[in-house]
Amino acid sequence: MIIVSQSRRRIFNLFLFVFSAGVAAVGVFILYLYFNPSLSDLFWDLFTGVRNQRLLYAFFAFLIAIYPLILFSRSKPAVEYKTVTVLKCYGCDYREVRDFQRGDYVFKKIGTCNACNSERYISAIYSVPMSKIEEKEEY
C-alpha cells in the first residue's frame, strides 16, 4: 500500500511538472511575441493595446507555472522508511525484529533458536516509517 501511494504521488508530481513546464513555455512564447511583434501586431496595437495584454498573459502564465513549486516548497519533508526483518522460531514464541540485511528473504532459515534449538526463520520483511520506530522506542 505504501509503495502504491508513493508511485501515485510520483505520477502526480510528474504531471504537475509537465503542466508547469508547458505553462512556462506558453509564457515564454507570449513574451517572445511581446518583444518580437509582427507588423500586424504593431498595427493593431495602435487601436487595441494588445501588446500590453500579452504582457499580462505572460505574467499570469508564469504565475501559474510557479504556483505548484510554491506548493511543493511548503509540503512536508518526505517520510523516511526503514526496512526491517522479523525473525521467528518454529518451536517457540521467539520473535525478533532487526534491520533488514542484504540477502534476507521470507522463510530463509537463520540458524537454531537459543531457547529451544528449533530452526529460526524470517517470517516477514516490511518497511516502517522512521517516525513510528522512534515512537515505539519511547515505550
Q: What residues make contact with Zn ion under the rule CB under 5 A? A: 89, 91-92, 94, 113, 115-116, 118
- Nearer Cβ to Zn ion (93/99): 93
CB of 89 to Zn ion, least distance (A): 3
Contact 89, 118 (CB under 8 A): yes
- Nearer Cβ to Zn ion (23/87): 87
CB of 118 to Zn ion, least distance (A): 5
- Nearer Cβ to Zn ion (116/133): 116
**Angle formed at CA 55 by CA 50 and CA 58, multiple of 5 degrees:** 125
Contact 92, 71 (CB under 8 A): no
Q: What CA–CA distances, in Å, run from 73 to 10, 68, 122, 124?
A: 16, 9, 40, 36
Helices (H), the chain: 2-35, 39-48, 50-74, 130-138
CB of 76 to Zn ion, least distance (A): 42
CB of 123 to Zn ion, least distance (A): 13
- Nearer Cβ to Zn ion (13/112): 112
